[in-house]
Structure 1
Amino acid sequence: MLLYNYIVTETSTSAKPIFLTFDIVYMKVITADRMREIEEKAHSMGILRIFMMENAGNSVANYIFNKFKKLSGKKIVIIAGTGNNGGDAFVTARHLVYYDAIVTVFLLGSLTDLKTEEAKINWNIIEGMNSINIILAKEVSKELIRMIKDANIIIDGIFGIGIRGEINEPHSSIIDAINKSRAYKIAVDVPSGLDPDSGQIHDKCVKANVTITFHRMKKGLPKKSVCGKIMVVPIGIPPDVER
């Protein structure tokens, strides 16, 4: 496990969650595989994956509310992949509509492509909500490009730590469209296209204003400009899991 030198800054107001931002005190840095091991052990201890996903997605929504204060009428476009990163984004969508935001979720694939039970559960929840606009996007459409262009806030929940190999369509064109947008961009866990271990970019990468990563800093994130501001947030995993 690596250590990086960071100064921790707490940002909070009364009755609102504390977020930790990192500039330059010692903190743990882990690989994607180590994060998977930690999640597996936490799950076996009874801290179920569905709980961790809920905490992760809610933390993103809380950050957005704290950042913008007023979300009523804001156009928020969520681009979700078919793995747990997409599942985190589904949770975020559910929490954001509480603040009267105009939320659209684009799922990059079909329902049968959803890879985990936790992602399926959270998809089923938002699918039953009239307050969220849901669109299946197996290919790039004019509607998708237009909504990305017109968005106030874009949430990147495409790959997270699950990126593998080259970036194919429709993901490649969608990343291009996200980067061209003037919206405020939030990467869930890891900007899509960035290798969480090496920090290398797979052909192209979402250029985020902020990256909200979960539990621990990922090895490939520090000093990468595509991450924007990096925030590490807890998702309910106690230190006992790593002992």
Structure 2
Amino acid sequence: MRTGFSVETVRAAERALMAELPEGALMQRAAAGLAAACADLLGRRVYGARVALLVGSGDNGGDALYAGARLTRRGAGVTAVLLSADRAHPGGVRALRGAGGRVVSAADGVPVVRRADLVVDGIVGIGGKGGLRAPAEELVRAAEDGGAPILAVDLPSGVDADSGEVRGAAVRADATVTFGAYKPGLLIDPAREYAGALRLVDIGLRLPEEAEVEALQHADAADLLPRPDAESDKYRRGVIGIVAGSARYPGAAVLAVAGALHGGAGAVRYVGPAAEAVIARFPETLVSSGPPSKAGRVQAWVVGPGLGDGAEARQALEDVLASDVPVLVDADGLRLLTPEGLRARTAATVLTPHAGEAAALLGLSREEVEAARLSSVRALAARFGVTALLKGSTTLVAHAGHPVRVNPTGTPWLATAGSGDVLSGLTGSLLAAGLSGRDAASVGAYLHGLAARFLGDSPVTAMGVAEELRGVWREVSRG
């Protein structure tokens, strides 16, 4: 499991460790890791390389200066551009100068960064708030114009370490070296897009067991995958009920059923007006004209994809929510949802909105949700008492009292019609197999994203993603 910790938690761990170490030892550990990452970005051709350090007043500026001193001793031409000369880390400045490096003021920094082979962003540390200001913004733009790779120290300057929000101009790094622990903002968009490739340097921090955010890895997903045994029948494997589709959107029903069948369901019961289209594609589906409560035994329901907003859709949603089994609500079901419909539920409920649907549920604009994805998904989970899966560039899963899960497998190619319907069916099948709402949503998002990745860096279709799930299941099962 990859975990991310808040600034407050990381700083507390740093203070505790610094109290046990000689003065400056922790910064030297960080600088050694940073210098190694610089060498890697330079392709190990350190000797003769031109390195520009953008140095602010925080400790990450000190990390950059000490790393610069190490690179200077290896033959690099290192110049530190001090944004505030009187507040730069004095020991770091002495170390760089003593090794033979140069120091210039911000006013003289633009030509330096434009000629550099590597630019190191040590402007603002993990406690920074808001976007970059002059002259930092001008220097960063000059670095981008110069075309050299940019390596951020701990996190790109201008992004929020705790939330992943970007409230102004910020560094777009090619890579980020972070120390001791990942910070939530490095894992969550929009800030994740600014971080580039991530590299964690272990500096010996002792961190609590529970993180702010976490991301499943292959082994974690493998441990959660339901597997049949010799005594399994279709009911033990999980029967999922799907209420989806309409005369206008029959394909939504077909795709949700595809996600469920390829996602391991023992059987699928379909309720709705698209039965003919579903049976034509998947003859193993058990169909019913409704209502859902009369369709037969299920272990979980999926309701909403392509359902429409008429009276029959509303009645079907109410019928499903009145059941005593886990329910996943998506798409049109979210638009019909009311808090009153959730209050009486005791079984797990999973909501899977995209940013626009989340905005409607929270009374915000879509732009507000996209800019503050972490706080938005937490608000959804808390306000409605559910597991909330917020779809998007980084899919997030929140359940009150637990770390938010960040899905690491997504790809922009999943932004295609019907992919959310497949995700709903897949996640519903995992609910029916007995996974908790949080685990089903997390594993569903993981497999869904991985299926799109397995199809390559090219356009995908929703049905193609569904059909790829079997191969993904085999791959993940290997751990």
TM-score where L is the length of structure 2:
0.41
Match of 2:104 in 1: 135
Matched residue SS, 2:164 = coil
Kept after mapping to 2: 8 A contact 1:161/1:189 = yes
Query: Structure 1 CA distance, aligned partners of 2:71 and 2:39?
Result: 8
Matched residues in 2 for 1:136 and 1:146: separation?
12
**Cα distance in structure 1, aligned partners of 2:131 and 2:38:** 30
Deviations 1:186-235 (A, max 9, x none): 00000011111111113111111100000110011115111110111111
Residue correspondence of structure 1 range 147-186 to structure 2 within 5 A:
147-186=112-151
1:81 shift after superposition = 0.4
- Give the root-mean-square deviation of aligned CA atoms: 1.8
Conserved 8 A contact 1:28-1:216? yes
Rounded Cα–Cα distance in structure 1 between residues aligned with 2:132 and 2:120: 18
Distance change >3 Å, CA 49–CA 211, structure 1 → 2:
farther
Q: Residues of 2 paired with 1:165 and 1:206: CA distance?
A: 12
Q: Deviations over 1:12-43 (max 9, x none)?
A: xxxxxxxxxxxxxx122101111111111112
Match of 1:217 among 182, 187, 194: 182
Match of 1:234 in 2: 202
Structure 1 residue 242, shift from structure 2 partner: 4.2
Q: SS of the counterpart of 1:193? A: coil
Asked if the contact 1:156–1:185 (Cα under 8 Å) also holds between the matched residues in 2, the reply is yes
Aligned: 1:122 with 2:97: no
**1:175-214 equivalences in 2 (<5 Å):** 175-214=140-179
Q: Which moved more, 1:190-199 or 1:49-58?
A: 49-58
Residue deviations 1:78-127 (CA, integer Å, cap 9, x gap) = 1110110100011111110122111101111122x24xxxx322222223
Q: What is the total number of aligned residue pairs between the two structures? A: 205
Distance 1:49 1:85, change over 3 A: farther
- Among residues 79, 82, 88, which one is paired with 1:107 in the alignment? 82
Cα offsets for 1:131-170 (capped at 9, x unmatched): 2011132xxx3x4212211111000001020313453211
C-alpha separation between the residues in 2 aligned to 1:221 and 1:84?
18
Q: Aligned to 1:169, what secondary structure does the other structure show?
A: coil
When normalised by structure 1's length, the TM-score is 0.78
Q: Is the 8 Å Cα contact of residues 212 and 233 (structure 1) preserved in structure 2?
A: yes
Point out the structure with max Rg over C-alpha: 2
Paired residue type of 1:177:
A
State whether residues 163 and 193 of structure 1, in contact with CA within 8 Å, keep that contact through their aligned partners in structure 2.
yes
> Deviations 1:20-79 (Å, cap 9, x if unpaired)?
xxxxxx1221011111111111122x1256111111111111122234112111111011
Identity across aligned pairs (percent)? 26
For structure 2, the residue ranges without an aligned partner over 5 or more in a row are 210-479
Residue aligning to 2:7: 32
Question: Of the two structures, which has the highest relative contact order with CA contacts closer than 8 Å and spacing of 6 or more?
Answer: 1
The alignment partner of 1:106 has SS state of strand
The more displaced of 178-187 and 77-86 is 178-187
Asked if 1:83 corresponds to 2:73, the answer is no
Instruction: Indicate how the Cα distance of structure 1 residues 61 and 236 shifts in structure 2: closer, same or farther if over 3 A, else same.
Output: same
Aligned equivalents of 1:146 and 1:136: distance in 2? Answer: 12
User: Contact (CA 8 Å) 1:83, 1:159: kept in 2 or not?
Assistant: yes
Moved over 4 A (4+): none
Partner of 1:221: helix, strand, or coil? helix
Q: Matched residues in 1 for 2:120 and 2:145: separation?
A: 14
Structure 1 or 2: more helix by fraction: 2
